[in-house]
Structure 1
Amino acid sequence: MDPRVSILVISYNTREETLAALRSVQSETRLPHEIIVVDNASTDGSAEAIAEAFPWLRLLAKSHNLGFAAANNVAAHEARGEYLLLLNPDTVTRHNAVDRLVAFADSTPDARIWTGRTTFSDGRLNPGSCFRRMSLWTLACGAIGLNSLFRGSAIFNSEHYGGWKRDSEREIDIAQGSFFLIRREDWEVLGGFDTAFFMYGEETDLCLRARKQLGARPRFTPAAEIVHLGGASEAVRSDKMVRLLKAKQELITRHFPKWQQPIAAVLLRGWPWSRQAGLRIAARLTGRDSLKTKAATWKEIHDRREEWRDGFS
């Protein structure tokens, strides 16, 4: 019997997290499924541990790090399922989440892309499973710092759907790649991820292309829930933010109207500057060393702007 869903996991130096993720998928998924793991040249013994613990799954151990986007394309090429589910290695599947997400997709086919609710390990909401596309307004709120000051505001933190507890089904703009369901046929029509995005931004680009080319209207359901720890494969915050800002600038170049692009680029560059300035002031007022450390990190990100300010150009 062909699998209904092919579950794609990209592993990179997350051995214990990946093993836990795979165990949870195995115990919580009832639908006919297959699991395809691409190991991006991990140095922590991930590939060997996965092969020993799960000899039945498809393991593609690479000799170099392909990046998240390209590795998912490799895994998808091997898939046989009706649906593809991209699942991060730092996740734990709960309460038949994969089955529930596929059932949701079956009932809302026009969405074409689907995701569910994510929490941290302590049960707190992890709001990162979905977000709104960038706009001049969201970039302005980031540059001024309003999205940090008013995280719960649907107006000032609209990119992250501030104020919404992820407790209701709704249409969204972007589904994060950590828990991302799409029909394999649609993935192939779109050509999968654009591999120019090594890490970060690839799911935004795909969702925006799917909306334009296929009329996709991605949807979220709280009925499918996983634990997503977040950031296990990239612990250095400055490196992560440089990658993220580089991807955001590329998304501006590709998906913003021409007349908005110069304004958007200026606003994006203001984000790390405003963060370091605000944290420095807060550190002086409170004397807290932790705030000084955070300010120094944002200064480093700002100082490295030549690495990200032009996107992939």
Structure 2
Amino acid sequence: MKPTPGNPPRIVAVVVAWNRRELLTQCLDGLAGQTRPADAVIVVDNASTDGSGDIARDHPVVTEVITMPTNTGGAGGFTTGIAAAMARQRADGIWIMDDDTVPTSTALQALLDTARLYPRELAVLASRADWSDGREHPMNTPRNRLDASPREKADAARLGCRPIRSASFVSILINAEAVRECGLPMADYFLWNDDFEYTARLLRHHEGLYVPASRVRHLTRAFGDSGADPGPRFYQEVRNKVWLFTRSRALTRWEKLIYGASTLRRWAHTLRTSGNRRVLSRGLRTGLRDGLRAGPRANGRVLAGTPAESDIEALAKEPA
């Protein structure tokens, strides 16, 4: 993804949208205002019912709208968008974000400047995500790379960055070569931990950086991290974490021990402080049961009959 004289990287932005048309408009306006514009913008409309698809089709920055027949969650949406960026838009880098993310005007330029100045190839570059009041959003703070070498830390620090082990899907730039090597996100995660699993998989054998100079606003309704009471979505948190720790190749054994212990502490805190423990207890039981019973289905099966099917097949046929 490093630019060469006369041959800048082709960057394709991917936005996943579902029933937030006002925020989607702000997101697309932010993409339109970039000092270094994306070369193409794909919006994956996850079967919205509020006219989000029409907003995207009418916006001048949008190159393509992919309309899904059903809501495939963030995991299915990003799998679809990344596959399209790779198979049909010839992306060198894929810049992904949710529809409630509003990039500042220099967000992409800062990521590309860092990629250009860093001495080695990077698989993932993550922006700083702020909430509406300017505080850094704890939901999107990337995990530090605990085993980063002194050289990696020094090279990152010279650019005002730090090495990371995983990141959220709120404004990250992914190297297309890493996608070819490591594959697509797992669509069957639907939501929760899909970004943890995928970015950790990309970064297991590759470098990634947190780039605070690249700023976006993540306009969630509330300020908080993943420890907030998730209600019925606790099922996906539990099932997907079980999949991550038992089925994915994203983490090493020692990382599974560290992150597994952290997960158990967070689950205990969430259950203890919840006002609806019955719902969370049910999610814990069924999530453990389903996560241990079987692993996530292949993307081709989850997204069969959707616009993503042919792109996933095309990528699978690419020479290794």
Return the match for 2:65 from 56, 59, 68. Answer: 59
Of the structure 1 ranges 125-134 and 29-38, higher mean CA displacement relative to structure 2 is found in: 125-134
Equivalent position amino acid for 1:175 in 2:
A
Return the match for 1:97 from 107, 114, 126. Answer: 107
SS of the residue 1:222 aligns to: strand
Q: How has the CA–CA distance of structure 1 residues 122 and 193 changed in structure 2, closer, same or farther, with 3 Å as cutoff?
A: same
Is contact 2:123-2:203 (8 Å) kept? no
Equivalent position amino acid for 2:97 in 1:
L
Return the match for 1:186 from 178, 191, 204. Answer: 178
Deviation digits for residues 116-139 of structure 1, max 9, x if unmatched?
21111111111333333899xxxx
Q: How has the CA–CA distance of structure 1 residues 176 and 55 changed in structure 2, closer, same or farther, with 3 Å as cutoff?
A: closer
Please state if 1:304 is matched with 2:304. Answer: no
TM-score by length of 1: 0.72
SS of the residue 1:13 aligns to: coil
Equivalent position amino acid for 1:106 in 2:
R
In structure 1, how many angstroms separate the alpha carbons of the residues matched to 2:144 and 2:212? 20
Please state if 1:125 is matched with 2:136. Answer: yes
In structure 2, how many angstroms separate the alpha carbons of the residues matched to 1:263 and 1:122? 32
SS of the residue 1:77 aligns to: helix
Q: Percent identity between the aligned chains?
A: 23
Q: How has the CA–CA distance of structure 1 residues 10 and 132 changed in structure 2, closer, same or farther, with 3 Å as cutoff?
A: same
Q: Which residue of 2 aligns with 1:116?
A: 127
SS of the residue 1:23 aligns to: helix
In structure 2, how many angstroms separate the alpha carbons of the residues matched to 1:77 and 1:124? 33
Return the match for 2:34 from 20, 23, 28. Answer: 28
SS of the residue 2:80 aligns to: helix
Q: Which residue of 2 aligns with 1:285?
A: none
Is contact 1:105-1:112 (8 Å) kept? no
SS of the residue 1:102 aligns to: helix
Is contact 2:229-2:270 (8 Å) kept? no
SS of the residue 2:215 aligns to: strand
Is contact 1:243-1:308 (8 Å) kept? yes
Mind listing any 5+ residue stretches in structure 2 that lack a counterpart?
1-6, 147-158, 223-227, 295-320
Equivalent position amino acid for 1:225 in 2:
R
Is contact 1:115-1:179 (8 Å) kept? yes
Is contact 1:13-1:44 (8 Å) kept? yes
Please state if 1:87 is matched with 2:87. Answer: no
Is contact 1:190-1:210 (8 Å) kept? yes
Equivalent position amino acid for 1:128 in 2:
M
| 1:98 positional shift | 1.1
Mind listing any 5+ residue stretches in structure 1 that lack a counterpart?
136-166, 280-294
Residues paired across the two proteins, number: 262
SS of the residue 1:100 aligns to: helix
Q: How has the CA–CA distance of structure 1 residues 52 and 256 changed in structure 2, closer, same or farther, with 3 Å as cutoff?
A: closer
In structure 2, how many angstroms separate the alpha carbons of the residues matched to 1:275 and 1:171? 29
Is contact 1:118-1:126 (8 Å) kept? yes
Greater Rg, structure 1 or structure 2? 1
Q: Which residue of 1 aligns with 2:236?
A: 243
In structure 1, how many angstroms separate the alpha carbons of the residues matched to 2:92 and 2:255? 39
In structure 1, how many angstroms separate the alpha carbons of the residues matched to 2:188 and 2:60? 32
Q: Which residue of 2 aligns with 1:217?
A: 207
SS of the residue 1:304 aligns to: helix
Q: Which residue of 2 aligns with 1:200?
A: 192
